Amino acid sequence: MSEIYAENILYHYEHPSNKGTIKDADIKNTDMNTLCGDQVTIYVSVKDGKAEELKFQGIGCAISQASASMLTDKVRGFDLKLILDLGQKDILEMLGIESLSPMRLKCAMLALRTLQKGIVNYFASQSPPGSVSD
């Protein structure tokens, strides 16, 4: 079990990338795992439909915080729609972990879920009221 605490996870937990906030971010979303109290806020500035810059703030376990750190590195420059397509497999691959218990999987997935909800809200706010999108 402790093999999930590999070098890369501990490194990102202790030295997180992109920790901070973005003033006037286009996307800002906070979510938490109510069971364990892990919390992540993700900030994104968007340019031409792409995630130009990402920052995060958070408290929680090594898995949730390392995941946020690595994710904000990974998806920089990604088309927002592409980020919505990411899933569990991509996160485990990113973390370099083969499998996690359901409880810990929630920790690992928190950052992506928070970002994806933020993107969905962003798209919803972009479409003018009453307009129909396909």
Partner 1 sequence: MALDPQRVRDDFPILSRTMNGKRLVYLDNAATTQKPRSVIQALVDYYSNYNANVHRGAYQLAEESTELFERAREKVSRFIGCDPEEVVFVRGATEAINLVAYSYGFRKLRRGDKVLTTIMEHHSNLVPWQFLRAKGVGLDFVGLTEEGELDMEELKAKIDRRVKLVAVTQMSNVLGTVNHVREIADVAHDAGSPILVDGAQSVPHMPVDVVQSGADFLAFSGHKMLGPMGIGVLFAKHELLEAMDPFHGGGDMIKTVELKHSTWNDVPAKFEAGTPDVAGAHALGVAIDYLGSLEMGEVRRHEVSLTRYALERLADTELVEVYGPRDAEKRGGVLSFNIEHVHPHDVATILDSQGVAVRAGHHCAQPLMNWLGVPATARASFYVYNTKEDVDALISAIEKVKEVFRLKQVSSA
**What are the residues binding partner 1 (CB under 8 A)?**
1-2, 4-5, 10, 35-39, 59-63, 104, 107
Using the minimum distance from each CB to partner 1, give the nearer residue, 39 or 116: 39
- In whole angstroms, the minimum distance from the beta carbon of 104 to partner 1 comes to 6
Listed residue (47, 56, 50) closest to 115, CA to CA: 56
- In whole angstroms, the minimum distance from the beta carbon of 76 to partner 1 comes to 26
Listed residue (3, 2, 7, 9) closest to 94, CA to CA: 9
Listed in order, strand segments (DSSP E) in 14-108 are 27-32, 39-47, 50-59
- In whole angstroms, the minimum distance from the beta carbon of 38 to partner 1 comes to 7
- In whole angstroms, the minimum distance from the beta carbon of 126 to partner 1 comes to 34
Under a CB-based contact definition with an 8 Å cutoff, are residues 56 and 33 in contact?
no
Using the minimum distance from each CB to partner 1, give the nearer residue, 5 or 123: 5
How far is the C-alpha of 16 from the C-alpha of 30, rounded, in Å?
18
Using the minimum distance from each CB to partner 1, give the nearer residue, 2 or 131: 2
